[in-house]
Amino acid sequence: MGKKLTVVDFFCGAGGLSEGFRQLGFNVIYAADNWGPAVETFKLNNPDTETIKADVLKLDASNVPKADIVIGGPPCTEFSASKKGGHGDFKKGLILVKRFLYYVHELRPKWWIMENVPRLLQTLPDKFTLKELGVDKEGYFTIPKRQVFIAADFGAPQKRIRLLSGVYPTPTQTHAENPVTTLEGNSYQKWVPMRHVIESFPSPLNKPREKYFVKDPIYGTRIEETELEDHFGDHSVMSEEEADRNRRQKTQHPYYGKMKFPDDLDRPSRTVMATQFNASRETMVIEMKVGKKTIYRKPTIREAASLQCYPVDYKFVGSNPTTKYKLVGNSVPVKLSLALANAILKKTD
Ligand SMILES: C[S@@+](CC[C@H](N)C(=O)[O-])C[C@H]1O[C@@H](n2cnc3c(N)ncnc32)[C@H](O)[C@@H]1O
């Protein structure tokens, strides 16, 4: 790439969406979020970016630098199926979506990408009046493209499904449920199973060993066990009672279908959630032998981060596991952002 393409990230969170662009050499010049741990995490991993802690509703567009690409993931809580059984406050959710679109209108980037849950499709019109976005002019702002993607199709060991709206070249699929070569000659590798991540790490219940290395399951780089953060300890372990409740939720639910207990490690994981309950249908459950005993646990924060395709040395700032799980679970899988960045690179001379 000659001159580095520039990126601005609204609602940057821990930085999953930016990370793919950063890895491919784009210059992420500005990022904003109103949550302290997200801002600190983003800053630590992107020291050259101007990262600000601010309510995106209150930013002044004239203070935000212009960039080639504007990206952002306005919070999807109100649109998510888990919020009030899918009856969240869509109007409230749209306020932040419209604010993101307002910045796109003001900054006029060549490409822009808004990430959200697919349920937003039910509410997102294909155009807004400029007045609805808070621009004091006649006319419309259109959203030309909206596509739903499965992160596993781009090499993530996770079946997270996301809606991407905006102006962007379609990323190239690299993986599929079964390896195939299509009539057009595209060949896809098999989806990466969750086992690939879980078995790359030593048992979290052991102590990190001197002079032992962990191989990053996504990028193949190595890190000393003693340097590995957010993995060792018992933060992922369920009590027997929690494991039991979990089993019942999944295998004996009165009206929802049966689910696997423990999770099937030979498939990509279910969606990494921002809230990690120890006993809910969304909880991932890993079975482990400790001596003669079988125990059940969630992925550690580090394993969850690898399921989201963060490099093993990516740092998360938070005073407790709940905060760190939330930072990780909120993110766009980096393999998806890499695929997007790559597609944009291919369109750039
Ligand atoms: C879905 S997460 C973004 C994840 C991020 N794109 C990534 O890939 O890591 C949404 C973020 O929006 C932030 N947020 C929510 N309301 C906000 C507001 N009014 N102003 C700024 N940030 C806000 C949250 O703190 C959260 O970090």
CA distance linking residue 286 with residue 264, whole number of Å: 9
Catalytic site residues?
76
Q: Is the dihedral of CA 200, 299, 339, 9 positive or negative?
A: negative
Q: How far is the CA of 12 from the centre of ligand 1 (A)?
A: 6
- Please report, as a single letter, which amino acid is at residue 216: D
d(C-alpha 301, C-alpha 296), whole Å: 15
Work out which ligand 1 atom sits closest to the CA atom of 57: 19
232-275 pLDDT, tens digit each: 999 999 999 999 999 998 888 777 778 899 999 999 999 999 98
Predicted local confidence at residue 231, as pLDDT: 98
Phi then psi for residue 114, to 5 deg, are: -115, 125
The domain segmentation of the chain, as residue ranges, is 6-179+332-346, 195-326
User: In whole angstroms, what separates CA 31 from the centre of its chain?
Assistant: 16
Ligand 1 nearest atom to the CA of residue 76, by list position: 1
Q: Would you give the DSSP letter of residue 169?
A: P
What pLDDT was estimated at residue 258? 86
| pLDDT tens per residue across span 137-181 | 999 999 999 999 999 999 999 999 999 999 999 999 999 999 888
> How far is 269 from 24, CA to CA, in rounded Å?
26
* Ligand 1 centre distance from Cα of residue 344 (Å): 23
**Yes or no: is domain 6-179+332-346 CATH 3.40.50.150?**
yes
With a cut of 90, say whether residue 100 has pLDDT above it: yes
Write out the DSSP string of 24-62.
TT-EEEEEEES-HHHHHHHHHH-TTSEEEE--GGG--GG
Average pLDDT over every residue of 288-292: 93
- Taking only the tens place, the pLDDT of each residue in 297-341 is 999 999 999 999 999 999 999 999 999 999 999 999 999 999 999
11 lines ligand 1 (CB under 6 A): yes
- DSSP labels, 222-283: EEEGGG--S-SSSTTBPPHHHHHHHHHHHHS-SSSPP--SS--TTS-B-PPPSS--SSSTT-
Choosing from 11, 39, 117, 308 the residue with most ligand 1 atoms within 8 A of its CB, the one to mutate for a pocket test is 11
Mutate to test the pocket of ligand 1, among 33, 56, 77 (most ligand atoms within 8 A of CB): 33
Question: What is the C-alpha to C-alpha distance for residues 100 and 73, in angstroms, rounded to an integer?
Answer: 9
| Ligand 1 pocket check for 332: Cβ under 6 Å | yes
> Distance, CA 190 to ligand 1 centroid (Å)?
32
Indicate which residue's Cα is closest to atom 25 of ligand 1.
35
Q: What percent of the chain has pLDDT over 90?
A: 83
Query: Is residue 1 pLDDT above 60, yes or no?
Result: no
Q: In this predicted model, what pLDDT tens digit does every residue of 23-41 receive, in sequence order?
A: 999 999 999 999 999 999 9
Q: What is the mean pLDDT of the chain?
A: 93
Q: Which two tokens stand for residue 130?
A: 């400029």
C-alpha 74 to ligand 1 mean position (Å) = 6
